Amino acid sequence: MERSDWELVQKCQAGEMDAFQELVSRYHQKVYMVILGLLRNREDALEVAQETFFRAFRKIKSFQGGSSFYTWIYRIAVNLSIDAQRRQKRNPLDFRESMDEVLEAQNEVAKDPFSDVHDKELRQTLLKAINDLTPEHKAVIVLRTIEGLSYKDIGEILGCSEGTVMSRLHYARKKLQYKLSEFL
Amino acid sequence: MRNCEGIRESIGSWLDGELSAAESESVRAHLVSCTDCGETRRRLEKMQLALKAALISQAPQIEFMSFWRGVERRINQKRAWYDDLLDWSRGLFAAPRVAWMVPAVIGILLVLASTDVWRLGGSRNSFASVESIDAYGRSVALLREQETKTTVIWLYQDQEGENDAAEDTAKSAPTF
């Protein structure tokens, strides 16, 4: 029988490394995808994802189970990503390189099921529009779109109310729709 | 029946399944009868689909063992004492811990506003100042009008990009 996250956390707190490894195996892909959605650079995303689990390991003893493990780990991931994103914005050269890399990555994946998105121009406009969002707006869009998290969970991760999540999503979507208006 | 403007603001939450049963039914009923709002829904759904494809398709599968080795290396690496200090100091200035700066900045501004130093120029009777509190766009503005002895303190967060949608009524609690 599969052990719950909370059981694994308790084992980690008792010093069992295997339990922590199992938690990492459960969430590493999801955490990586969220971070990649925020940073748009594979290498940076991998670094931040590993750093996320390292920080979680160091703080695991203070985790009391007040929230679920995944909202806790996403919170660490989003905070580290927002910090990294602000550093990226201060370095336009890095930003340009990361965009090139993402656009290149798009050409590698020609099998996604959404035919509309095959249009290269739409992809580029969409990625640019996402990048132009504020870190907070980008975070709600990514958490909702990739993970399909509830407003309550997103609020817990970002440390804000459900109403704020709703408001940020509304404005972020409105902004994206405006920039994509010619494609929709 | 709610008006189109109100409905359009709710379509995203409706698609996300985040409305109450009554609100949800109200949006559904409106969308059946209103072509314009139906079109807004169609555009939003199309954008959501494109967004999902773009964000998910770019992510490669990560091989677990190599990922784990990276985490393990960090765990086993001995950290210098100043790295811990750096982490601690970063946390000190991160929201929401930065909240201690709000009363501090207000206090400083009030002291400055009430000091005669500002009147040395002769003609300066009132005082106005805006101070940024943190990197998240939070600021405090202080206005002191000498004649009416009025002091206004205004805390706000600059929501970049939301100004163009200022006519929309935000349903949420303020973000600050």
Interface predicted TM-score (ipTM):
0.80
Chain centroid, CA A112 distance in Å: 20
Answer CATH for A5-179 from 1.10.1740.10, 1.10.3720.10, 1.20.1440.230, 3.30.70.1290? 1.10.1740.10
CA distance to partner chain A, nearest, from residue B38 (Å): 13
Helix ranges restricted to H, chain B: 4-15, 21-33, 35-57, 64-76, 81-92, 101-114
What is the band of B96 on the pLDDT scale with cuts at 50, 70, 90?
low
Cα distances (angstroms) measured from residue A35 to each of A31, A129, B68, B94, B163: 6, 17, 17, 19, 27
Kindly state the tokens that stand for B121: 């120029």
- Using one digit for the tens of pLDDT, what is the confidence trace for A7-49? 999 999 999 999 999 999 999 999 999 999 999 888 999 999 9
d(CA B157, CA A129): 22
Q: Cβ contact (<8 Å) for B58 and A36?
A: yes
Partner residue opposite A105 with nearest CB, options B58, B61, B170: B58
In total, chain A counts a number of residues equal to 184
pLDDT of residue B163: 41
pLDDT at A96: 43
d(CA B160, CA A151): 21
Contact criterion met (CB below 8 Å) for A80 and A52:
yes
Nearest-CB residue to B67 (from A50, A126, A184)? A50
Cis bond before residue B60 (omega within 30° of 0): no
Taking one residue from A and the other from B, the number of pairs with CB-CB distance under 8 angstroms is 153
**Among the ranges A32-46, A120-134, B48-62, which has the highest mean pLDDT value?**
A32-46
Q: Do B56 and A33 touch (CB under 8 A)?
A: yes
